[in-house]
């Protein structure tokens, strides 16, 4: 099941054809390379536009959330067995 984290993270990635792809993120002073991007979805929280990235790093699944209005990143959830 997913465990809620809701912590701020730093994300590095690349833009290609006007789309951002995360390549790694920094969480709790550790760098996590993105092995696979599994899903991207756009959503709204009231008027706030957000983009959710589901990805795999080191065999674990993560959900990152980008607040498009504030331009901030949040680690939402981590899959825990």
Question: How far is it, in rounded angstroms, from Cα 24 to Cα 48?
Answer: 24
Q: What is the pLDDT of residues 42-68, one digit of tens each?
A: 999 899 999 999 999 999 999 999 999
The span from the CA of 25 to the CA of 78, in Å, is: 13
Tell me the domains of the chain and their CATH numbers. Answer: 2-79 (2.30.30)
Q: pTM for this one?
A: 0.92
Comparing CA positions, the residue from 75, 70, 73 lying closest to residue 20 is 73
pLDDT in tens, 14-35: 999 989 999 999 999 999 999 9
pLDDT in the model for residue 81 = 74
Looking at residue 45, its pLDDT comes to: 87
């Amino acid at each position: 099941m997913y465990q809620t984290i809701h912590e701020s993270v730093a994300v590095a990635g690349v833009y290609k054809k006007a789309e951002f792809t995360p390549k790694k993120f920094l969480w709790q002073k550790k760098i996590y390379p993105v092995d696979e991007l599994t899903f991207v979805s756009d959503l709204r929280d009231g008027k706030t536009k957000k983009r959710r990235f589901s990805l795999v790093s080191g065999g674990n699944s993560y959900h990152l959330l980008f607040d498009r209005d504030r331009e901030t990143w949040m680690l939402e959830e981590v899959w825990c067995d």
